[in-house]
Chains A and B, each alone.
Chain A
Amino acid sequence: MSGRGGIVEAVRRANAPKPPEHSGRLRVAATCSVAVSLLAAAAEHEIARSTVVLCIALVSAGMAFSHRSRNRTLGWVKVGVAVGALAAMGWFVEQLSGGPVGDITSVEDPLTILFAWVLVVHSFHVPARRDVVFALAGSGAMMAVAAAQAVDMNFGLYAVGWIACGLWTLLEVGAAASGGGRPRVRVSAGSAAGLMVAGLVVFLLLPAPTAGVRLDFRNAAGSAGPVAHPGALAGDAGSPLELSHPGRSSGPTGVGGFLGFAGSLNTAVRGHLSDRVVMLVRASVPTFWIGETYDHWSGQSWSATDTRSLVLDGGSPFSVPAPPSSRARPGVDDLQTFYIKDATADLVFHADQAQQVWFPAPRLYLQPDGSLISPIGMGQGAIYSVDSSVQQPPPADLRAAPPGPSDSGYTQLPAPYPDVHQLAVSVTAGDRDTYDTVQSLIAWMGANTRYSTDIPALPPGADAVRQFLFASRTGYCEQISTALTVMLRTLGIPAREAVGYVPGPYNPVTDLYQVREEDAHAWVQVYFPRYGWVSFDPTAVVPYANPSPGATALRIVGHFLARLPWPPIGVAAGGMGAAGLVAGAVRRRRATGRLSPAERAVRQMERAGRRAGRPRTPSETVIEYGRALAGGWPEVARAVDAAAYGAEEIPAAQWGALLRRAESVAEREAAPA
């Protein structure tokens, strides 16, 4: 009895009216916190912007009303707040009644509006300090809802703003609790520093928030439109505008994007891969995100033999049946969510073996190799989630696995490769199981080949594997993985080429892998009977090529020069030369135009002397030079002397006659007899 009474008393004490809070700054700070949280929710498209503006206005008005009425007990306000909260709760329950139970995605939007409504209603009854703190806590809930949708760093602006407003509010609470007044500067600065340090420590200590609890399976359609042929892979036409070739049409090939996300993979052509982020991925297990696999090798290109798709319909979530070559043993469960940031191939990338897919389309297409094809364009804003089984068998288990069937299509070769076979046998001599064989070949790749994306073009008709293994020994993931696949096949080990993305850099704040265009990758899958297809990445052990600096510089310069638009450059250079000549002539004419007739006559005499092989020396007077030239030039020199020093006016016609005569005499004397 006494215990029950104690509880009642404790509840009564907790609900007893608290003294009114007189700090206006505290209310302003709390209002700012609420406003920032509402804006953050709007930025994540959880609530309409117009609604947010209305909510902020109402919360501000409510806080002002609460401040003015803090010393009065207004019963009707309490009743109004209670009725408002109940109405909001009733609306929320009604919104949920039609949707599937447990699907958090259908709850998010009504939940956000419910929080916003509660924040608005509560703001009209905030008499005490404790109530203001509740408003701050409510803004925190709203921020959590917004943060649950945020996948990029732009949200950091709202996060920093809310933390700053929250810190301000808490400092005002502390100052009010300590007797009022403004928060002291030292305390504020120390608190901010302490908050940063403590937050950083907590951030460093806590593990990443893996989506272990299955509440959130995101999927949303993006901005890209429908694909031309649903169920078929886009990109076979090789157009840079196709979805499978996102990116700029630049680079040596003039093709943007990775060329392997199509019906075939030509190892002789490499698209330009930029550092543009293609998609953000949240996954509990970072692994290859596979797009598709190839089983048929032609000597230069990979392709898939069987492209008949199985239509998965029934809507999201799609259950993906295991392909015939699937493993028997289940792997590690891995839930991934893909946030598409830019147009990409119509492949549904996923980790290892997809089991269930939450996808914003009425159907999906499943290829025999386990690849999933989207019927809609995968544009910016598209979101989908995949639940995969990731196989991570330990090496001991793989060593114990029996060899795969050597007569399957996955040992196909376009022609016998005796030299490759000989090399593979010599490298793997002594290996008694498939796993060790694969590891030996990978180690050989690491020791004997070099990674470079700048490789010479494949000669016409040449085999890409032979060119790589016996000529250049330099290549990138496609050459390296293809060579390993072919070497394994020559040994009768079933292997195939897989293409997709590596995880890319991990962002510790968003807990997302940033998959860039240049993270497109090709690797090898080897079949182990009890485990299915197991991925191996030979490229990871191959060191970078180390060419000479001079050759690299020349190659860079050569590539740069080769990419220059020479016709317009030639036209521009020619135009500039012509313009220079014209400008020189104009300058000469202008300079000559400013000379007197006597000076022009001296210039002409000097030119004639240079032509005759008798240039004027610096010490020679005009008279002396004219005598030296002989002919009609002494007469010209005397006329110059008379004009310059005798102030004798010589008509222009006379100058012309004198000069013409001198030139003609000189020509006659210069002419051969």
Chain B
Amino acid sequence: MTGGRCHPARPWGPIPGSLALVLGWWLVAHSSGQGWVQALGDAVTAAVLLGLLGPWLALRRARVEIAHAPLDGTAGRPVEIALRRSAGIRLTPVDPPGPARTEGALEVVAARRGVVTSVTVEMATAAPFGVQWWTRRVVLALPHPLHIAPRRGRPGAVPAPAEDTAARDVPDPRPGPFGDLRAPRPYRAGDARKSVHWPATAHTGELMVRETERPRGQPPELVVDLPADPAAAEAEAERALATALALVDRHGAVLLTTTEAAGTRRGVVADARQAGRRLAAAK
């Protein structure tokens, strides 16, 4: 957790009001000269001090850590991030934004696709008396990047699969993420959920997935070139995702070419998660 300084939130109500209360009490004490007025005024002053500065102290001592975060999300849809947090602190995600919550997981809603490596949250508390809110912005590093895929837009034109005789003659025994079923095998981390082979799982008693062989022919290629304008790029990415998924549905896979920060990347994707991650990272 890396954080900035604590700030009072909208201080022009509580602070002058509290000071006016203390000043008024002091005036009564010093006009009457009565010790009990001052003694009570001391308690009121202490309560005001505690109410104004207590949240600052609580905020400085508050701790928030990310316990678990998902790998993937979709723009415009909430993503829940599990936290370990101090009690009584209100957390409001700022980047990506999200609703304020006093307890439970953090919910962020990214408006656009992208790769999120940290979450900026605003911590706030008015403890113990609810007199004055204090806020503090902190940046919570995610344990791993969160890929926010674009929304699925309208797909472009998708060509029908053609009989590729030349490809049929080429033997290609290597397993791959798409192609024909080779045999069920035990589940390994990273395997797609949709590749689970349920009959084999039921038969063996452990989670089994389909292992496929690459098809004899090359999948269709989709080249995504996003414009510089963010809004136009987002719309283009949404359309690219829809097109890519349509191609995957029809051809089993698509050869996706995108431009990332490190340069142009060309690779086969066979499901929505892979496509989403590629488009999340695309520039």
- Measured in the bound complex, the distance between the Cα atoms of B131 and A147 in whole Å is 25
A6 interface residue per 8 A CB criterion: no
B102 in the interface (beta carbon within 8 A): yes
Residue B29 is within 8 A (CB to CB) of chain A in the complex: yes
Q: How far is the CB of B6 from chain A (nearest CB, A)?
A: 17
The yes or no answer to A215 lying at the interface (CB within 8 A) is yes
Question: Is there a chain B Cβ closer than 8 Å to A166's Cβ?
Answer: yes
Would you give the shortest CB distance from B31 to chain A, in whole angstroms?
4
Q: B29, B36, B50, B102: which contacts A191 (Cβ < 8 A)?
A: B50
Q: Are B47 and A195 in contact (CB under 8 A)?
A: yes
Of the candidates B28, B33, B42, B129, the one having the most CB atoms from chain A within 10 angstroms of its own CB is B33
How big is chain B's contact interface, by range?
35 or more
| A215 and B128 contact, Cβ closer than 8 Å, known pairs A140-B44, A198-B50 | no
Could you tell me if A148 and B34 are in contact, using CB atoms closer than 8 angstroms? yes
The answer to whether A202 and B42 have CB atoms under 8 Å apart is yes
A64 at interface, CB cutoff 8 A: no
A471 at the interface (CB under 8 A from B): no
The CA of A330 and the CA of B121, in the complex, are separated in Å by 68
Q: How far is the CB of A322 from chain B (nearest CB, A)?
A: 26
B32 and A215 contact, CB distance less than 8 A:
yes
A173 touching B34 in the complex, CB below 8 Å, given contacts A144-B25, A144-B40, A194-B54: no
Q: Is B49 an interface position by the 8 A CB rule?
A: yes
Secondary structure of the A contact surface, majority rule: helix
Which of chain A's residues 495-515 have a Cβ closer than 8 Å to chain B?
A: 507-512
Contacts of A199 in B (CB 8 A): 42-43, 45-46
Query: Are the C-beta atoms of B88 and A148 separated by less than 8 Å?
Result: no
Select B43's contact among A148, A163, A213, A511, beta carbons within 8 Å: A163
State whether B103 touches A203 (Cβ < 8 A): no
Instruction: Let me know if B39 and A159 touch, CB within 8 A.
Output: yes
Q: Let me know if B126 and A509 touch, CB within 8 A.
A: no
Bound form: Cα–Cα A198–B53 in Å: 11
Complex formed: what's the CA distance from A155 to B37 in Å? 11
B38 close to chain A: CB less than 8 A: yes
Interface pair A512/B35, CB less than 8 Å apart? yes
CB of A282 within 8 Å of the partner chain? yes
Q: 0/1 per residue, B239-273, Cβ < 8 Å to A?
A: 00000000000000000000000000000000000
Cβ-defined contact, A194 with B42, below 8 A: no
Whether A190 lies near B128 (C-beta < 8 A) is: yes
- Partner of B36 from A155, A187, A284 at Cβ < 8 Å: A155
CB of B230 within 8 Å of the partner chain: no
Bound-state CA distance A206–B34 (Å) is 14
Contact between A177 and B130 (Cβ–Cβ < 8 Å)? yes
**Most chain B Cβ neighbours within 10 Å, of A151, A155, A174, A184:** A174
Contacts of A187 in B (CB 8 A): 88, 127-128
Whether A195 lies near B35 (C-beta < 8 A) is: no
Report the minimal beta-carbon distance from A506 to chain B, rounded to whole angstroms.
Answer: 10
Q: Is the CB of B130 within 8 A of A208?
A: no
When the two chains form their complex, are residues A511 and B130 in contact, meaning their CB atoms are under 8 A apart? no
B73 surroundings in chain A (CB, below 8 A)? none
The answer to whether residues A178 and B34 also contact, given A147-B39, A202-B46 and a CB cut-off of 8 A, is no
Does the CB pair A511–B50 fall under 8 Å? no
Instruction: Say whether A209 contacts B46, CB under 8 Å.
Output: no
Q: Does B87 contact A (CB under 8 A)?
A: yes
Q: How far is the CA of A24 from the CA of B38 in the complex (A)?
A: 32
The residue on B at minimum CB distance from A150 is B36
* Closest CB in chain B relative to A623 CB, distance in Å: 96
| One of A197, A211, A282 near B31 (C-beta < 8 A) | A211
Q: How far is the CA of A150 from the CA of B36 in the complex (A)?
A: 7
Residues of B within 8 A of A511 (CB): 33-35, 38
Which single member of A104, A191, A282, A508 contacts B129 (CB below 8 Å)?
Answer: A191
Contact with A along B110-132 (1 / 0, CB 8 A): 00000000000000011111110
Asked if B144 is an interface residue, CB under 8 A from chain A, the answer is no
B33 interface neighbour in A159, A162, A211, A507, Cβ under 8 Å:
A211
Chain A residues near B33 (CB, 8 Å)?
Answer: 209-212, 216, 282, 284, 335, 337, 511
How many whole Å from A118's CB to the nearest CB in chain B?
16
Write out the residue numbers on chain B whose beta carbons fall within 8 Å of the beta carbon of A147.
34, 36-37, 39-40
Tell me which residues across on chain A come within 8 A of B28, comparing CB atoms: 144, 148
B130: chain A residues at CB < 8 Å are 129, 170, 173-178
Alpha-carbon distance A657/B38, docked complex (angstroms): 100
**In the complex, A487 has a CB within 8 A of chain B:** no
CB proximity to B under 8 Å, residues A322-359: 335, 337
Q: Closest Cβ of chain A: how far from B274's Cβ, in Å?
A: 40
Let me know if B128 and A174 touch, CB within 8 A.
Answer: yes
From known contacts A173-B129, A178-B88, A179-B102, infer whether A208 and B46 are also in contact, taking CB-CB under 8 Å: no
Q: Add 15 more A-B contacts to A140-B25, A187-B127 (CB < 8 A).
A: A140-B44, A147-B36, A150-B34, A171-B128, A178-B126, A178-B127, A179-B103, A188-B128, A195-B47, A198-B49, A199-B45, A203-B39, A206-B38, A209-B33, A211-B32
A-B contacts, 20 of them at CB < 8 A, read A140-B21, A144-B40, A148-B36, A159-B36, A170-B130, A173-B130, A174-B130, A178-B126, A179-B102, A187-B128, A188-B128, A191-B50, A191-B129, A197-B46, A202-B46, A209-B29, A209-B30, A210-B30, A211-B31, A216-B31
Q: Could you list which residues of chain A lie within 8 angstroms of chain B, going by C-beta atoms?
A: 14, 104, 129, 137, 140, 143-144, 147-151, 155, 159, 162-163, 166-167, 170-171, 173-179, 183-184, 187-188, 190-191, 194-199, 201-203, 206, 208-213, 215-216, 282, 284, 335, 337, 507-512
